[in-house]
Amino acid sequence: MNFDAAKTQLDEVSLRTINRSRILIVDDDPDQAECLSYRLEQQGYEPQIAPSCSAALVAAELSCPDLIILDICLPDGDGLSVCEQLNDDTATCEIPVIVLSAMDGPNLVRKARAAGCEYYLRKPYDPNALLALIKNAIGRDDDLSNPLL
């Protein structure tokens, strides 16, 4: 392989790395968070995990993710309050939020929407449905040929 071909390949890899969307996963269940993180990595995303409300707010401020996947029940508070705080901060108010929670009910979904969450998906969830919501939320128009399964 000549130098120019190697440089072109390196540039393509670097561009793919630079263009990877960052997703912050906020979930206190390490197994759930790691499983989702692995699946997202396989899809070309750059996941980061925050296990609490306070860690989520710090991570969102520092890393400015392209999307946040947020559980509601967290050890140090309520995920919806995290969403409200993100919306009140000019540095994070544009980040779309998908709630991914075992809790359900029409009032909870309304509260999530009022807090600024873009989508609400109940656990257990269809991984391909989550992938479609992620792509829609961050405007990534890849096809669905590489499902999360």
Measured between alpha carbons, how far apart are the two ends of the chain, in Å? 36
Domains within the chain, CATH numbers bracketed: 21-138 (3.40.50.2300)
The pLDDT tens digits along the chain (149 residues) read 555 654 555 444 444 444 689 999 999 999 999 999 999 999 999 999 999 999 999 999 999 999 999 999 999 999 999 999 999 999 999 999 999 999 888 899 999 999 999 999 999 999 999 999 999 999 855 544 444 43
Task: Give 73-124 as a 3 state SS string.
Answer: EECCEEHHHHHHHHHHCCCCCCCCEEEEECCCCHHHHHHHHHHCCCEEEECC
State phi, psi for 99 to the nearest 5 degrees: -85, 130
Structure-block tokens of residue 88: 């009140």
